[in-house]
Amino acid sequence: MKRAYKYRFHPTPEQAGELVRTFGCVRLVYNKALEERTRAYTQEGRGVSYAKSSAALTAWKKTPELAFLREVSSVPLQQTLRHLQAAFANFFAKRAKYPTFKSRKRSRASAEYTRSAFRWRDGRLTLAKMGAPLDIVWSRPLPEGAEPSTVTVSRDAAGRWFVSLLVEEKIAPLAPVEQAVGVDAGLTMLATLSCAEQIVNPRHERRERRRLAKAQRALARKEKGSNNRAKARLKVARVHAQIADRRRDYLHKVTTRLISENQVIAVEDLGVRNLVKNRRLARAISDAGWRELRSMLEYKAAWYGRTLVVADRWFPSSRLCSVCGALRNEMPLSVRAWACACGAVHDRDVNAARNLLAAGLAES
């Protein structure tokens, strides 16, 4: 299967300048192609295919106003047109909303290079329009004999540079085990397992809230458009980046352990998009990273031959007695423990995890 390996790298001033120009051209081509497709449909009632957008790109390069597009590699520009085509395909298939314009401040700066636009020799990567290879920090080795088919270069809001190498890799499934587990996601505890074990929620954003607030206050005091404001914005972005990195690292450790120890993992389908509309819980839910937790379980289960079962979001896991199957009419969030008529006394989260496990075993 195809797998991406992401690394940090440190560009030279010349490489950074070339990449920044490429990011700007990629964003411009995407927005201009999106504007043309929208205009053609709303005013003329016709669609614009990728081939027509590619021909328009060739014409744009010949105009005096957009002649600078010829100064960067043509491959990232063609790739952004393919991404726009995929965005429209997802929109027409009702998998996503209508494509939006890329913002210079809010969109992730990135450029994608295919095999014809980079050179890979002896573990060194050189991009088109560059004379020297990138100074990559090899935090982990690539699979032996693997050669990247696609390279994506990006820069985050904190000013860090990353390169993602897409390679073909054979991932051996883990040895089968007999153990299965139900996982109930929460806020006080990140997850409660059907074996009654509780996984602590580190609350990374909450731990850094004072430092983040101090950086944001400093940013608010700076004059808009000044160099000091740019430096303050970078400090805020770095705090956010540290929080995100710690959260991602913790979720990787939790999900890898769950996948390695269990053959079947049962979770609940949480409507995170709707849940974060609750102003009282939105910050805590975002800090817990429920959606990222499930995403990691999904692709790791596919990699290593495990089974992930997702119970319906309307499944009454908390209101159902895991011993006798009796169903309570209601269960407020304030109720953390309850007793069933059959005599069983339940911890709310442990009971929910056990019901999820039973539903998962029945489905699998």
Q: Please, are residues 157 and 240 in contact by the beta-carbon 8 Å criterion?
A: yes
List the catalytic residue out of 268, 269, 330, 363: 268
Average pLDDT over residues 260-287: 89
pLDDT tens-digit profile of 170-206? 989 999 999 999 999 999 899 999 999 999 999 999 9
Q: Please, are residues 183 and 266 in contact by the beta-carbon 8 Å criterion?
A: yes
Residue ranges of domains in the chain: 2-168, 180-202+238-363
> Sorting pLDDT into bands at 50, 70 and 90, what band is 17?
very high
Alpha carbons 157 and 195: distance in angstroms, whole number: 41
Q: Burial level of 54, CB count in 10 A (0-12/13-18/19+)? A: middle
List the catalytic residue out of 112, 184, 205, 287: 184
pLDDT score, position 355:
93
List the catalytic residue out of 18, 205, 287, 349: 349
Average pLDDT over residues 114-121: 95
CATH of domain 180-202+238-363: 3.30.420
pLDDT score, position 275:
85
Instruction: Indicate the range of 106-110, 215-219, 290-294 predicted with least confidence.
Output: 106-110
* Helices marked H in 3-73: 13-44, 50-61
pLDDT at 318 over 90: no
Average pLDDT over residues 138-153: 93
pLDDT at 226 over 90: yes
Name the residue among 346, 350, 362 with its Cα closest to residue 307: 362
Q: Cβ neighbours of residue 83 under 8 Å, at least 6 residues apart?
A: 30, 112
Q: What is the mean pLDDT of the chain?
A: 93
pLDDT at 148 over 90: yes
> Sorting pLDDT into bands at 50, 70 and 90, what band is 162?
very high
- Catalytic residue status for 245: no
pLDDT at 106 over 80: no
Phi-psi region of 189 (alpha: psi -120 to 50; beta: other; left: phi over 0): beta
Average pLDDT over residues 216-231: 95
Packing angle, helices 74-92 and 50-61, rounded to 10? 150
Q: How much is the CA Rg of the chain, to the nearest whole Å?
A: 25
pLDDT tens-digit profile of 321-363? 988 988 888 888 888 888 888 888 988 899 999 999 998 888 8
- Catalytic residue status for 268: yes
pLDDT score, position 107:
72
DSSP output for 99-157: --PPPTTTSPEEEEEEGGGEEEETTEEEETT-SS---EE-SSPPPTT---SEEEEEE-T
> Sorting pLDDT into bands at 50, 70 and 90, what band is 62?
very high
pLDDT at 364 over 90: no
3-state secondary structure of 229: helix
- Catalytic residue status for 184: yes
Give the CA diameter of the chain: 82
Work out the percent of the chain whose per-residue pLDDT is above 90. 77
The strands making up 307-311's β-sheet, listed across from edge to edge, are 198-200, 189-193, 180-185, 264-268, 307-311
DSSP output for 163-205: EEEEEE---PPPPP-S-EEEEEE-SSEEEEETTS-EEE---HH
pLDDT score, position 335:
86
Bridge partners, 200 (sequence order): 189
pLDDT score, position 21:
96
pLDDT at 105 over 90: no
